[in-house]
Amino acid sequence: MKLSLHDQSIIENSIRDIKDFPKPGIVFKDITTLLNNKEAYGILMHHLHQKYKEYDLDYIAGIDARGFIFGATLAQMLQIGFVPIRKKGKLPYTTISEKYSLEYGVDEIEVHIDAFSQIPQARVLLIDDLIATGGTANAAATLIKQAGAECVEACFIIGLHFLDGIKNLKEKTQVYTLVEVN
């Protein structure tokens, strides 16, 4: 399902560019202006609901922290469960974790070991606001599999196509982006 050019334009125009944040040379894609624009956020969530309602999903997994905003809302709309994938040390129960590389070191995310255990071979949609180099998204897709579920697709509001994150993630799962930055 494709967005109309009109709806695509509303979503794209609701995302603010912040130059030189968090450091010189970077253009940060600020989604707070999308979230506080009821028309843009409504169009976005309606589109995601329409796209994923026939996927026979069991869970939405959202990446800490902006993936929680879109993922929890979409899970409610689809009447399925939501699973948070968090930064290390933020979940209270037994977890499994996955490390990934950053340009300046290594980070780690985790999920509860029983996050998907209520449904054997659970079908999961992974969601976050943006994919750049794909380190976090690849680690999250790996965690979903390690927890006994299938990552059916990964969805991002913004995809930075000039980096290799999307290409690398496509080795693990299908990838969908709404706003493409080349």
pLDDT score, position 1: 73
Q: Whole-angstrom Cα distance, residue 35 to residue 28?
A: 16
Q: Whole-angstrom Cα distance, residue 65 to residue 155?
A: 15
Please report, as a single letter, which amino acid is at residue 168: N
Low-confidence winner among 2-16, 96-110, 133-147, 166-180 (lowest mean pLDDT): 96-110
How distant is the alpha carbon of residue 72 from its chain centre?
Answer: 11
pTM over 0.85, yes/no: yes
pLDDT score, position 56: 98
Domain parsing of the chain, residue ranges: 55-181
Contact 133, 164 (CB under 8 A): yes
Specify the CATH class of 55-181 in words. alpha beta
Under the banding of pLDDT at 50, 70 and 90, the label for residue 105 is confident
Rounded mean pLDDT, 11-40: 96
pLDDT score, position 75: 98
Q: What percent of the chain has pLDDT over 90?
A: 94
Contact 166, 182 (CB under 8 A): no
pLDDT score, position 180: 93
Tell me the β-bridge partners of 17. Answer: 29
Under the banding of pLDDT at 50, 70 and 90, the label for residue 182 is confident
pLDDT score, position 2: 85
Residue 102 above 90 pLDDT?
no
Opening angle at CA 150, ends 69 and 55, nearest 5: 65
Residue 103 above 80 pLDDT?
no
Q: How many CB atoms lie within 10 A of CB 49?
A: 14
* Nearest residue to 127 (alpha-carbon basis) of 40, 55, 25, 22: 55
pLDDT score, position 104: 75
Rounded mean pLDDT, 10-39: 96
Residue 26 above 80 pLDDT?
yes
Residue 28 above 90 pLDDT?
yes
Contact 34, 44 (CB under 8 A): yes
pLDDT score, position 125: 99
Q: What's the mean per-residue pLDDT of the chain?
A: 96
DSSP string over the chain? -PPPHHHHHHHHHTSEEEET-SSTT-EEEE-HHHHT-HHHHHHHHHHHHHHHTTS--SEEEEETTHHHHHHHHHHHHHT-EEEEEEETT--SS-EEEEEEEETTEEEEEEEETTTTTTSTT-EEEEEEEEESS-HHHHHHHHHHHHTT-EEEEEEEEEEETTSSHHHHHTTTSEEEEEEEE-
